[in-house]
Amino acid sequence: MIQYHIVYGNMKKKTVYYKERPLDDYHFYNGQILDKVRVIQYPTYFEGGTNMSYTYDSINHGKLIPAKERNDGISFNKDLRISLIKGTIDGVFLDNFYNLISCVSGNLFLNVTNMKTGTENYRESESFILSNHSSIQVLIPPLYGFAYKALEDSIVIDKLAYNPHEQLSQKKVQLDTIKIIRIIREYFAKRKQDKIFKKRIEELRKRDPFTYKNH
């Protein structure tokens, strides 16, 4: 039996076993809120102290770009490597090209918002947690704004897809002008409150196990 390391979102170090699943067997999903955002889940092969995975495959990843756009010359062309210090918040980036986001080291909170006026789900957002334990990537379409926060020191790879004969355009929208930054802050405020509440319940349960056994 071949062992693969399959992790979604913020689930860490969860191992799932598959009898037959080659390294190029990618799984593709639409976002739950933003269906134009694609989530790519790739297998990682573990053997001893080694783990291996293909983070990019031209055939599989190329299919993520709609056929019409591929015919117009849009393809993955460059990798941008980004090093982030823990706590760094950056964005909102608004590009006229595709961004394929991977976190190859560390832990990253990523938020994406549809900024295309006149489209379904306009100004709606969806969030993801990427990490070196998480075998997922997120493909962000053109004109979808995105921002992120490094939960620890992190290295991010942003693979860019565009027509090399056309001018690239990237805007940086002020974080406070749309709700992305509020979503990031609310997420971490809630997580902090949840930790405080859990710790308090544990303390009360030690004092009075009968009263707090169901909390």
Please tell me whether residues 92 and 156 are part of one structural domain: yes
**pLDDT tens, position by position, 83-109:** 999 989 887 888 899 999 999 999 998
**pLDDT tens, position by position, 134-175:** 788 999 999 998 988 898 999 999 999 999 998 888 887 765
Which residue has better confidence, 51 or 8? Answer: 51
Which residue has better confidence, 115 or 183? Answer: 115
Please tell me whether residues 161 and 194 are part of one structural domain: no
Please tell me whether residues 70 and 138 are part of one structural domain: yes
> What is the helix (H) or strand (E) element at residue 148, kind and residue range?
strand 144-150
With a pLDDT cut of 70, the percent of the chain lying above it is 72
Please tell me whether residues 61 and 9 are part of one structural domain: yes
Cβ burial of 112 (10 Å; 0-12, 13-18, 19+) is buried
Q: What is the pLDDT of residue 13?
A: 43
Q: Domain count of the chain?
A: 2
Ranges 24-28, 43-47, 107-111: which has the least confidence: 43-47
Please tell me whether residues 194 and 174 are part of one structural domain: no
Please tell me whether residues 149 and 209 are part of one structural domain: no
Tell me how far apart the alpha carbons of residues 54 and 174 are, in angstroms, rounded to a whole number: 35
Please tell me whether residues 140 and 209 are part of one structural domain: no
Q: What is the pLDDT of residue 91?
A: 77
Tell me how far apart the alpha carbons of residues 64 and 42 are, in angstroms, rounded to a whole number: 14
Q: Give the CATH number, domain containing residue 102.
A: 2.60.120.10
Please tell me whether residues 198 and 103 are part of one structural domain: no
Q: What is the pLDDT of residue 101?
A: 96
Please tell me whether residues 85 and 137 are part of one structural domain: yes
Please tell me whether residues 205 and 119 are part of one structural domain: no
Q: What is the pLDDT of residue 77?
A: 93
Tell me how far apart the alpha carbons of residues 204 and 155 are, in angstroms, rounded to a whole number: 40
Please tell me whether residues 205 and 150 are part of one structural domain: no
Q: Which domain holds residue 213?
A: 185-215
Q: Using the predicted structure, report yes or no on whether residue 44 has a pLDDT greater than 80.
A: no
Please tell me whether residues 143 and 206 are part of one structural domain: no
